[in-house]
Each structure stands twice: as structure tokens, then as C-alpha cells.
Structure 1
Amino acid sequence: MEKAKTKKNRGELAIGAVCVVLGILLAVQLRSVKVNSAADAAGAGRLETLQNLYNDEVDKSEKLQAQLDQTEAELQTYRDAAASGSSQSEALKAELSKLQMEAGLVDVEGPGVMVSLRDSTVANITGEEADYIIHDNDLLSVVNELRDAGAEAISLNGERLLATSEIRCAGSVVIVNGRRYTAPFVFNAVGDPTTLYNALTMRGGVVDVLGQWKIEVKVTASEKLLVPKYSGVIEFRYAAPATAGNAGTEEGVG
């Protein structure tokens, strides 16, 4: 009788232990399911956000391309009208070509200099890696020196630089006209080759300063360089031609 009672107690203990283990396993499984469900929901939400951002960028790109197509169609209309043959039309055609060059809307070529810049490859002795790589202010220094020396057209990595062009760092890349580029950086500048070359390589000039950080700068004079046209869309949202009656007037804000 005592043995039967002992066996019964052992059986109940075994069943209890199994129930406890099953309970723990079920709790762990439920928790795992909740965690996975939350992760799946977060992942789905992130994917949806990225998809929406992508769709917005595609819409913007399509709108800008449509504006560019419309502008080019209008320019072609003016070209066709200017090609009618009259002396007045010839004058308009010449003026249109000049304005297109000044606005950066056509490819131009001529003598000038090519400037290439590469990050330094020497050992870092300052502990600051940023001292040995090319930044936006380095590129802007080159642009300012070229413009001050009379460059008539400048491109950076194939991007035509206009008055509205931006050159700025974004992490490890440099954004030019909304596009991302990394070193090496190559400028093409049309102008007097000797003047441009001397402006860049003079003592204490931009090449000399960058050379102190062992950044490789190579300036090459050329008798014929190509500077491509601006490939984006020029849009003025706030600026408009001033009327004669409002010229010179100023109004404060607030």
C-alpha cells in the first residue's frame, strides 16, 4: 500500500514537472511570437516609408524632366524662328547663342586648364583623418580661384557649375547639382590657360595650401577642353524681373 502511494506521488510530481516545463515553453514561444510580430510590423512600416520616399523622388524627377523637355522645346522654337534668314533674325540668333552660353545651357569648348584632386595617401600623423581628405571648402577654393582668374565656363566631374550650383559635403561624398560624387575630383575650366594655371599654382595659392596636407593636385594647361551644358532644370520660385516702377524700392519683413 505504501509503495503504491509512493508511486502515485512520484507520478503526480512528474506530471507537475511536465506541466511546468510546458508552461515555460509556451510562455517563451508566445513571447518569441510577439517579438517577431513586432519586428515584422516595424520592418513593414520601414519598407512602406522607404517606398513612399522613393515614389516621391520619382515623381519629382519626372516633373523636372517634363519641365526640361518643355524648356528645350521652347528653345528649339526660338532657334527655328531665328534661322528664317533675315538680318534681324540673325541678330536674335547670335544673341540667343550668347545667352545660352552664359546660362550654361549649351556645351562649350576652348583653351583652359584641367585640375584633378585626389585624397592624400600619406600616413596620418595628426590623428584627424579629415585633414587628409578633400572637403567642399577645398573644391570651392579652386572654383573661386578659377573664376577670379577669368574662367568663362567651369565643370566639376562633368557637372556644369552655375551661379545656383551647390558644392557641399554630405558624409563621405560631395553633392554637386544634386548629384553625389567621391574623389577624385576633376575640374575643366575654359579661359586663358596661362592666367588660370598661374593663379592656381602661385606661391601660397590653393595648390600650395592643399599640398601641405599632401592632397594631390595636378593642373594641366590645354588648348581645347570641353565643358558640358547644365543638365538640370533652372527654376525661379521667388525671383522675378523687376518692373520699372518698383526698381530700387525695398520693403522690410515683419
Structure 2
Amino acid sequence: MGKNKIGSFTLVAAIVGFMIAIQFQTVKKPVERDTRDIWQLREDLLKEKELQSNLLKEIRSNEDKLSAYDSKRKQSKEQVLRETLDELKTEAGLTEIKGPGIILTIEPVYEEIKLGEPVTSSVSPDLLKRLLNELNMYEAKQISIDGQRVINTTVIRDINKETKIDGYTIRDLPIEVKVVTDNMSTAEKLYNRMQVSKSAEEFFIDNLRLKVSEPKPDITVPSYGNPIRIRNMEPVEKGGKS
């Protein structure tokens, strides 16, 4: 027998012997048996059921939290939309505004009556426009003239020798110009500036007096009464195409 055959036989014998030894150890080792009695099994089963019940409760609790979160999120979106709509209405002048401000009174110069001058019974659109420009320059926020709310699209013009504000005719004097500002501090600054206003001089040239009231914390400016027309706008179709 050659040396190669002897070496191969030795290797095969070693492998077979190793496998027999492993099998012998496996058979020799006793199988562990569950020695718990029925009461211990019942206790263990009860613990498992309690654990399962707690897990289910935790799952339900998390599901309720998720549901509540989704509900609050939807409500918050609706609330944001409502608040945004209210803000837009306020900016557009569609809501009544109450806050600190002043009242300007435009009236005839009654002293001129004694001198035989004709009494001025109306105010020109140009004077009102200049007054509005000056008020806006001094941080006025909301304005009404003779009970008519002034907004960004307000038109003041002369039609058939009558001064009209968005179609409303100003016929009789005196009239009130109500101005609302952000706070009392701004109202006081506006009051001081209007005391030395150039508009007052321009009104006086037309035999009109511009009286300025002391700042008040509760000036009310009415909402805009006319319909607002939106032009050159179309609804957006689905898909983002107009």
C-alpha cells in the first residue's frame, strides 16, 4: 500500500471517529424537561396575558393620541384659515374697527358770515385727497369721512358739482373725519402734527375750518358698505392652469 493511500485512510478514519464522538456526546446528554407543575404554568400564562393586555392598552392609547393629534391639526388649519380670512377682511375694510385715534371736523368759517361772505356748504375732492395723503403720511391706519369708510380703492371726485366718495354724496357741513391709529402714542403724535397741518391752511383758504379733537382710546370707524368688485382675475383650474 502506498504512502498516499495510507494518508487518505488515516484522514477518513479520523473524520469518522470525530463524528462518532459527537453523536455519542449528544445521546449521552439528557434532555431537559419542563418540571413546572400546572399552577406554575397557570401563573406564567396569566403573566403573559397581563403583558398582552398592557400592550394592547398602550397601542390603543397611542392610537387615541394620533387621532387627537390629527383632529387638532385639522382644526388648527381651519382656525388659521378663519384668522387669515378675518385679517383679509380687516385689511380690505370690510369690518368695523375700534381703537385709539382722533376726530377731525370740517366746518364753515362762521366768522365770514358776519363779513357778508357766502357760507361754504361743501368741501372739494382735492382738499379731501390732500387731507387723506397727509393722514396716511402720519401713520393713520383706518379712516372714514362722513361715515363712509375709506379703503385702497376709494374714489373721491366731483360729479355734477357734488363731492362724492364711492358714489356717496357729501352735501352738508360740518362733517367728521374719523381716524384710527395703532396705539395712543401714535394717536397723540398724529394730533400734534395735525395741529400745525398744512391741510388746515388749505381748508381755511376755502373758508373752511379743520378742527382736531383730543386723542381718544375708542374711535369707531365703520366697515365699508359698498360691494368690492374684483377685475382681471380668473379662478385657477385644476392642474395649475388658468
Aligned AA for 2:209? Answer: E
Give the TM-score normalised by the residue count of structure 1. 0.54
Q: Which runs of 5+ in 1 are unaligned?
A: 1-83, 243-254
What TM-score comes out, normalization by structure 2 length? 0.56
Q: Does 1:215 align with 2:208?
A: yes
Alignment of 1:49-64 (within 5 A): none
Contact map agreement 1:120 1:213 (CA 8 A) in 2 = no
Closer, same or farther in 2 for the Cα pair 1:237/1:91, shift >3 Å?
closer
2:177 is matched with which residue?
A: 187
CA separation in 2, counterparts of 1:142 and 1:185?
13
**Aligned pair 1:103/2:97, yes or no?**
no
| AA aligned opposite 1:153 | Q
- 1:223 Cα deviation (Å)? 1.2
The alignment partner of 2:226 has SS state of: coil
Distance 2:108 2:149 in 1: 22
Cα 1:231/1:85, change in 2 over 3 Å: farther
Q: Percent identity?
A: 24
Q: How does 1:100-249 map to 2 (within 5 A)?
A: 100-121=89-110, 122-123=112-113, 134-182=123-171, 183-191=173-181, 192-202=186-196, 205-220=198-213, 221-238=215-232
* 1:85 shift after superposition: 7.7
Q: CA 1:235–1:132 in 2, change beyond 3 Å: closer, same or farther?
A: closer
Gaps of 5+ in 2: 1-72, 237-242
Aligned residues: 158
C-alpha distance after superposition, 1:217-238 (max 9, x if no partner): 1111211111111111111233
Per-residue CA deviations over 1:58-90 (Å, capped at 9, x if unaligned) read xxxxxxxxxxxxxxxxxxxxxxxxxx9822222
Distance 2:225 2:103 in 1: 21
Post-superposition CA distance 1:76-109 (Å, at most 9, x none):
xxxxxxxx98222222222221111100011111
Amino acid at match of 2:143: I
